[in-house]
Amino acid sequence: MEAMQILFVIRSLDTGGAERQCRSLAIEMAARGHVVTLCTLAALSMEESERLTPKVRVWNLGHEGPSSFVRSGLRLRRLVMTGAPDIIYSFLPVSNVLCAAFLPAKFRRRLVWGIRSSGMRDVKLTTFARAALRAESICARLPALYIANSERGSRDYVANGFLRSKMRVVENCVDTAIYRFEAERRALLRANQGLAETARVVTIVARLDAIKGHSTFLKAAALVARSNADVEFWIIGGGSPQYSASLRALARAHDVEARVKWYGDMPRSHEVADLLMMSDLAVSASLSEGFPNAVAEYLASGLRVVGTAVGDTARMIGGCGESVPAEDHVALAEAIVRQLYVPHSRTVSRAKFLERFEPVRLVDYHERLLVEVATGASRK
């Protein structure tokens, strides 16, 4: 396979599932010998830059919000015309629209859109986010291909005017060398943490954002805590100070504050993996998802999972847990209690997940699709 020049375009590499997948895919494609440039709308922080391999070149457009959309689009156009990449792969609505609106026609034949969500039109969004979704639908016929990360997401987007013939599904990959299960390491980590053998830990990994359902999780935690003295709840993820404060106030109001540990943003995957290693059950309480990375990481860690029935969450969980309606804290609490005490082998649970979502196979498929677009565009 000949090396391609691939340009990835995304708003930023701040903490988020799409951002992690974009970064991981850029690193993997560079490792496979492709020439990779990652273009962010906003400047990268030093920490974000350090998480990229030196093989990935970085460019940013100096984007400063909606008012600089045209300026950013013109800068992107110059970058593309100068570098002439074989593939332009954009992620999320703003980047997708920017590429479709400002790239010349010959480069739109090389444009791939990353579709990373489902059900977004059913949840409360900012005016700008809703406008970006509308603009994305208007421009939907321009790219050569869309790659959705979930079956549910692909159906939602086709129902909103995207062409079925251009839609492909490639699920997100999880680093199974980091997210794993080792009984001896778990025992050592829990001992160092001072966790009693009988303690049960229920963990949620998600940025602090209303769409991730932390308020539902905290209300459910309060119900579980009333009748289960051995359970504590870990929340991993950062967000705005104002929203974080409102969630802590909610925990106090429901008298569960003493049972909750807040770990904040943890950009180092190894640290998150260690906390999952120590956990006994994991939760996804989101109102909207595509193929949630956190659920994949939970399952790769051998955990049973309780998740809301959004996106592909239920399909991912399979027989390793259960799904409940979004925003139903009573159903969530009941499922947590049921699943928390189910005897199971974490090694077997992990193996079942990897049978269905093996990372190397998923990256191979991604690469084949990009080659097909690049080859097709070169013939026109």
pLDDT, mean of residues 230-257: 96
Are 280 and 340 in contact, with CB atoms under 8 Å apart?
Answer: yes
Predicted pLDDT of residue 30: 93
Give me the chain's average pLDDT, please: 90
- pLDDT over 80 (residue 195): yes
For the chain, what is the total number of helices (H) and then of strands (E)? Answer: 16, 13
- pLDDT over 70 (residue 48): no
The set of residues, in sequence order, having a beta carbon less than 8 Å from that of 3 and lying 6+ positions away, is 33, 34, 35
- pLDDT over 90 (residue 171): no
Predicted pLDDT of residue 366: 92
107 alpha-carbon distance from chain centroid: 27
- Which has more pLDDT, 201 or 11? 201
Q: How many other CB atoms are found less than 10 A from the CB of residue 380?
A: 9
Helix (H, G, I), strand (E, B) or coil at 231: strand
Predicted pLDDT of residue 10: 92
Distance CA(306)–CA(322), nearest Å, equals 5
Distance CA(320)–CA(344), nearest Å, equals 9
Q: Could you tell me the domains of the chain? A: 5-173+358-378 (3.40.50.2000), 183-356 (3.40.50.2000)
Predicted pLDDT of residue 119: 55
Which of 1-15, 72-86, 203-217, 233-247 is predicted with the least confidence, judged by mean pLDDT?
Answer: 1-15
DSSP string, 282-306: EEE--SS-SS-HHHHHHHHTT--EE
The percent of residues in the chain predicted with pLDDT above 70, rounded, is 94
CA angle at residue 319 from 318 to 324, to 5 degrees?
70
90-104 pLDDT per residue, tens? 998 999 999 999 999
331-380 pLDDT per residue, tens? 999 999 999 989 889 999 999 998 888 888 888 999 999 999 998 865 55
Predicted pLDDT of residue 17: 74
DSSP string, 109-166: TTEEEEE--SSGGGS---HHHHHHHHHHHHTTTSSSEEEESSHHHHHHHHHTT--GGG
- Which has more pLDDT, 120 or 48? 48
Residue owning tokens 């359970």 = 231
98 alpha-carbon distance from chain centroid: 21
Predicted pLDDT of residue 130: 80
